[in-house]
Amino acid sequence: MSFTGQSATGPEESSNAQAATHGRDSLRKAVVVGGNRIPFARTGGAYTKSSNQDMLTAALDGLIARFGLQDERIGEVAAGAVLKHSRDFNLTREAVLGSALSAETPAYDLQQACATGLETVLGLANKIKLGQIDSAIAGGVDSASDAPIAVSEGLREVLLDLNRVKTLPQRLQVLSRLRPKDLAPDAPNTGEPRTGLSMGEHQALTTAQWKITREAQDQLAYNSHRNLAAAYDAGFFDDLLTPYRGLTRDSNLRADTTLEKLATLKPVFGKNLGAEATMTAGNSTPLTDGASTVLLASEEWADAHELPKLATVIDGEAAAVDFVHGKDGLLMAPAFAVPRLLARNGLTLDDIDFFELHEAFAGTVLSTLAAWEDEEFGRTRLGLDGALGSIDRSKLNVNGSSLAAGHPFAATGGRIVASLAKMLHEKGRVDGRPARGLISICAAGGQGVVAILEAF
Amino acid sequence: MTDKYTQFVSRGIGKDVAKKLGLPQPVVLRRYQPGQPLVPGPILVQGSSDSADELAAALLSWDLDVRRHAVPREKLGAIILVLDELARPEDLEGPVLAAAASIRDLSPNARVVTVSRTAAGAPGPASAAARQGVDGLLRSLAKELRAGATANGIVLADGVTTTSPSALGALRFFLSARSAFVDGQFLTIASGEGKLPADPDKPLAGKVAVVTGAARGIGAAIARTLHRDGATLVVVDIPAAGDHLAAVANEVRGTALQLDITREDAGQRIIDHAVGRHGRLDIVVHNAGITRDKLLANMDPDRWNSVIAVNIAAQLRINEALLASEQFRNSPRIVSVASTSGIAGNRGQTNYAASKGGVMGMVRATAPLLAERHGSINAVAPGFIETEMTARIPFATREVARRLNSLQQGGRPEDVAEAIAFLAGDAAGGITGEVLRVCGQSLVGA
C-alpha cells in the first residue's frame, strides 16, 4: 500500500505546539472526580421504552447521589446524543431540570458522533482550566431502541406546504401531490451519507487493507468480555455504575464466551470484498442503549466539597481523515490524532500505562495498532522517522471495552473517562511520575478524538 | 399505608359494625409530625416521691400541661406513674389505684409511662418483688388500653435519677407520637450518660449517620427519619440496588455508597466514605438484612450461610472496624435492627432467627466496649411491619399476623425508624445493650 500527503506534525506545528504546552502550564488543573453510568443494554432489551432523556436523567441522578450534589449549581453540564429526536433540541438542559441538581445549572448539547462523550469532557475541562467554571458534568446518551423515525421527504414537503396555503382548493391541490410511497417512514441508519456504506462495511475495507486476521479479532473480543467480567466480579464498577430498569450489568457482556464460540459466528461485514470476510457479530459492537456522566472540577472546588480527585485531564486532540476518496479508512482518524497528541506532550507510546482504545470493531483497534507499527505509515503519513511503535498489549483495555460493554454512541466517552480515571487513581505513580492513560475514540464522518489523563 | 380494615373500622358505619360484632377495632395511630403537641392532652404525674416532683417540674419546663392530681372527667394525654421508691409489693396500691381512676379519661392515642427501678439492683426480696411487679402490671395495662393508647416503662438503674438525660429522653420518646407502635415495652436507663438536644425537633443536627440496606423499605424510612431529625446521611446498599439507593440518597440530600456489607473491608469503606465526604461519623444503623426461609429439615448451606453472613457476621465485622477507628470516638451510636423472630422464633426462619438472636447477643456484649468513648449500642426488634416484604405474605396469614398485637394492626416502617432515631440521638447515651421492640405488643414472643 502507498501513503501520500502531508505529515501529521511538520516543523512549524511543533514549535506552535511547544508554545501551547508552555501556555498550558499556567492554567489550573481540571480533575475527574468520578463518574456514573447506567448499565448498557443491547437494543430492544431492557431500555426499549426508555428515551434519551430518561436515561441521561437516570445517569445524572446516580452521579448526584454518589457525590451528594443535590441542589448544587454546577458550572455547566454538557452532553449529547447521536440519534436524536427533534423534540430533544435541549436534551441536556431538560435532563438537568428533571434531575436533583439545582434548576439554575446551565447545560448545552454537543454532537460529534461517537466522540460526543469525550468531546464534552475535553470542552468542559478546558473551561475549568481557563477558570470560566469550577465544576462540570460531561456526558452522553444514546438509544438505538427509541430511535427517531422521520416522515419521508415527500410527506414532509406536503405538510409544510399545506401549512402555507390558505384556501381549501389550494389545500386539496397540495394534498393531491401525495403518493403512497410518501407514507413510508424514514428510519435512521448508520450509513455514511457520502458513501452509502455502513460503518461495518467501511471497517471491513480497512480490516482487509491492514490484513487483520479473524483470529486476532476474536481474541480481542474474547479479552474484552473476559476483562469486563473480571472487573465486575472484582467490584470495579461498584462506584461507577447505577443499575437501571432491572439491569445491573451490561447486557451484552458474555462472561462465559470462549474463542471457540466466537469462531463459530458467521461473518456479517465485508462479504463482497473478495478477501475472506472476518468481521462477525462477536467482534463488532452491537447497537446499544445507555448513558454515562463524568464529574469534573477544579482542585479547589473538589476540595471545598470534600470530593475525591482521581485524575487530571491533560490534553486532547481531534483528527479527521478523507475516507470519502478512500485515502484512509473511515475509523482511522485516531491513528493520526494520537501521534500528534503524544508529540505535543513530549510523550511516546512507552509513556502510557493504560490504553483505552474504543472497540467500535475489533478490526478498528487492530488496524490502528497495525498502522502505528508500520514503518511506511509512520514515515509517509505521520512524518516520523519510522513506525510510531507498538504497545504493550497487557495495558490495552484492561477492564474491557465496547465489544463487551456495548456502545451507546455518545455514552462511550463518559464510560471510558470515568473508568480510566479510577484505574489511574488506583495505580497512583509509575516510575516516580503519575500513572498515565490514553483514550482513543473513532467517530462517523472519518473523525477521531483522543485524550490523555494522568493520575492526580 | 394504613391497612384497609383499619380505615374501614375507624369511622362511620364500619365502626358501628365492628363494635356490634365484637371485631378488632384498630384505630389510625397518631404519628409524629414536627411541631405537633407532644401528647394529645394534659399529663397527670402520679406518685408522691421527691423524684415525681422533679419529673413534673422537668415536664413543666418543656411547656407541657402537667397535673399532680387528677381533675375529674378531664381528658388526659398521658399518665406518668412514678414508682421509683417501692419497698414492698403493697406499695404499689396507692399510686396504681390512684392512676386507675384516670384510665377512662385517657384520650385516644394517649400514653401511660411507668418510671421504676431495676429488680436486679433491689436491696432485698420484697423490693425486688415490688419492682418486678411493675413489669407484669405495665404489660397487662398495655393490653387493656384502647384507641391507640400505649403503656411503656422506664427502668432506672441504681443511682440514676428520674431526671437524668436518658430518663427524660426516653420519657419524651414514649410520650410522643414517635413511639406510636411501641407498646408494653421497657427501656432500662443504665447511667447518667447522654444529653438532651438543644432542639427537640432536630435532635440529630450536626450528626453524620450511615444506614445500611437503605434502598427501600425500613432502611429507606430510617434514612428519611434521620434526615428529618437533622442528620447528614450516607445510605448504603448492595450495588444491585443502586437505582433505588440513588433515589433515597437524592431525597434525603445525602450520599449513596454502593457496597456489599459482607466484604472484608466494608467497615473501613464506610468509615472512609463518611469521614472523607462528610468529615465525621457519629451513627451507624445496621439495617441490612435478608430472609431465605426454609424449614430446617430442608435447609441448605446457601440459605443458611447467606443469612448469617449478611444479618450478623457483617455487623460484627463492621463493628470491629468502628471500634478500632479513631474516627468513631465522639459519643458514637450503633443501632441494629433485630426482629421479634429472634425472640419468639418463627416457623421456617431458623437461619433468620439465629441471625437476629445473634444481633441481640452482639449488642449486649458490645455495649461495654463502647462505654469508655461514651458510646452506646442498641437493637430495635420490629414485629409485623407493613412493607413490600410482608405485603407478599398470603392474605389470610397476613391478616392474622397484623392483628395479633395490642394495637391490632401492623406497624409502619417509620415506626421502626422513629425508635432507631431516638436510640441514635445524644439523649439515648444512658441506654446501651438494650433491645427495644417495635411490635405493638405482639402476642408472640412476649
B398-426 average pLDDT score: 90
A318-340 average pLDDT score: 95
Helix A168-175 with A153-164: angle, nearest 10 deg: 170
Q: Is the pLDDT of residue B399 over 90?
A: no
Contact of A243 with chain B, judged by CB distance below 8 Å, is answered with yes
Contact of A98 with chain B, judged by CB distance below 8 Å, is answered with no
Catalytic residue check, B352 = yes
What is the SS3 assignment for B60? helix
**Concatenated DSSP letters for B12-53?**
HHHHHHHHHHT-----PPP---TTS-SSSS-EEEE--SHHHH
pLDDT in tens, B294-318: 889 898 999 999 999 999 999 999 9
φ and ψ of B271, to 5 deg: -65, -45
pLDDT bucket at A11, cuts 50 / 70 / 90: very low
Cβ-based contacts of B237 with chain A (< 8 Å) = none
Residue A158: predicted pLDDT: 80
Contact of A234 with chain B, judged by CB distance below 8 Å, is answered with no
Are the beta carbons of A68 and B255 separated by less than 8 Å? yes
Cβ-based contacts of A100 with chain B (< 8 Å) = 250
B375-396 average pLDDT score: 88
Cβ-based contacts of A62 with chain B (< 8 Å) = 242-243, 246, 256
B429-439 average pLDDT score: 94
| CA–CA separation, B67 and B69 (whole Å) | 5
Q: Which of residues 68-97 of A touch B (CB under 8 A)?
A: 68, 70-71
Percentage with pLDDT > 90 across chain B:
68
Residue A23: predicted pLDDT: 57
| CA–CA separation, B78 and B111 (whole Å) | 4
Are the beta carbons of A308 and B276 separated by less than 8 Å? yes
pLDDT in tens, B74-132: 899 999 999 988 899 999 998 899 888 899 999 999 999 999 999 888 889 999 999 99
Q: Taking CA atoms, what residue in A is nearest to B241? A: A243
**Concatenated DSSP letters for A147-189?**
---BPPHHHHHHHHHHHH--SHHHHHHHHTT--GGGGS-B---
The residue written with cell numbers 500513572 in the block is: A435
Give the mutation candidate from A236, A240, A248 for the B interface (greatest B CB count, under 10 A). A248
Contact of A307 with chain B, judged by CB distance below 8 Å, is answered with yes
Whether A209 and A370 have beta carbons less than 8 Å apart is answered as no
The residue written with cell numbers 470560566 in the block is: A132
pLDDT bucket at B430, cuts 50 / 70 / 90: very high
Pick the catalytic residue: B32, B173, B352, B384? B352
Closest Cβ opposite residue B255 in set A65, A71, A244: A65
Establish, for the pair of chains A and B, how many residue pairs have beta carbons separated by less than 8 Å.
64
Outline where DSSP puts E strands in A223-378. 267-269, 279-280, 288-297, 311-320, 354-357
Sign for the CA dihedral angle at A210, A213, A218, A219 comes to negative
Percentage with pLDDT > 90 across chain A:
77
Closest Cβ opposite residue B276 in set A238, A242, A306: A306
Cβ-based contacts of B220 with chain A (< 8 Å) = none
**Average pLDDT along chain B:** 91
Among A230-244, A329-343, B80-94, where is mean pLDDT lowest?
A: B80-94
Q: Spell out which chain B residues touch chain A, with contact meaning CB-CB distance below 8 angstroms.
A: 239-243, 245-247, 249-250, 253-260, 263, 276-279
Q: Tell me what ipTM this predicted complex has.
A: 0.85
pLDDT bucket at A9, cuts 50 / 70 / 90: very low
Are the beta carbons of B239 and A243 separated by less than 8 Å? yes
pTM for the model stands at 0.88
| CA–CA separation, A90 and A137 (whole Å) | 16
φ and ψ of B63, to 5 deg: 65, 35
Pick the catalytic residue: A22, A114, A305, A425? A114
Q: Which residue has the higher pLDDT, A14 or B115?
A: B115
pLDDT in tens, B37-70: 999 999 999 888 888 899 999 999 998 999 988 8
Cβ-based contacts of A70 with chain B (< 8 Å) = 250, 253
